[in-house]
Amino acid sequence: MSSANQSGRFTLGDRSVKRLGYGAMQLAGPGVFGPPRDRDAAVAVLREAVASGVDHIDTSDFYGPHVTNQLIREALHPYAEHLVIVTKIGAKRGADGSWNPAFSRDELTQAVHDNLRNLGLDALDVVNLRAMFSVHGPAEGSIEAPLTVLADLQRQGLVRHVGLSNVTPAQIAQGRKICEIVGVQNHYNLAHRADDALIGDLARDGIAYVPFFPLGGFTPLQSSTLSDVAARLGATPMQVALAWLLRRAPNILLIPGTSSVAHLRENLAVAELVLPDDAIKQLDHIAAG
């Protein structure tokens, strides 16, 4: 059985987690909206992930909405003591499936309570505040007001640790003046490397970096170099892309998502995939191409 055990560990809040985790986003319906086509298959993927050693699951109550959290509860509750579930707030879904900001005190408070209820928890391990100044990527804007709300909920004991998502370095600096930030979740992969310097800065401060869309997201990574390296190593291009991220920095925690047990096993197998130095050099040039 493929396992996350060979991926190494890094600290997330007050917990040490394996660097190869699982993202639950793809368990919802098309466009991360509505129920899955096969609920039993979604439950099976979650159970297989934990059985294979995954101890870090990423989710949000606006996936579905409510769908992925309810699936996680159905599949895994009562939760193993070692399992860390990370969720996020700051957005809501429109009736048409659109992604909209939800930054008011009432919206943020309700979102935390929705996550607690649907996951079946008394306190959330880590909650990321997702900046929504632009849906498609980080954009400047003050996060002081919404992060202050989240810090208040942390003081109430509803949230153990706080992270940030879809943010700029300036917003991270602003956030760290308000409360401890244990992780940053931004768009990053072989071809999208705007956060190269940021990852190193966070590593020096012991802060986890969690790349979303590690395989390109809704537009999967495509590169002849990536395909060539994968063929030489007897791996899939997506396995090589994940293995490169594991090698990129020690504070990177991966959360590749899938709704397939077979694909999950492929993803977890990258923990044992060794990338030779010459392959790393080839892959490093993809972003400049």
Residue 35 phi/psi, 5° resolution? Answer: -80, 160
The total of other beta-carbon atoms located within 10 Å of residue 180's CB is 13
DSSP code for 63? T
Q: Residue ranges of the alpha helices (H) in the chain?
A: 39-51, 67-76, 105-119, 144-155, 169-176, 196-204, 224-233, 237-248, 261-268, 277-284
DSSP code for 80? P
Type of residue numbered 7: S
> Would you please indicate which residues are annotated as catalytic (active-site) residues?
63
Type of residue numbered 205: D
The total of other beta-carbon atoms located within 10 Å of residue 262's CB is 10
Residues listed for the chain: 289
Q: Give the span between the Cα atoms of 35 and 241, in whole angstroms.
A: 29
> What are the tokens at 272?
């044992």
Q: Give the span between the Cα atoms of 11 and 151, in whole angstroms.
A: 20
DSSP notation for 148-194: HHHHHHHHTTSEEEEEEES--HHHHHHHHTTS-EEEEEEE-BTTB-T
For residue 216, give the nearest of 162, 282, 287, 138 by alpha carbon: 287
Q: Rounded to an integer, what is the distance from CA 179 to the centroid of its chain? A: 21
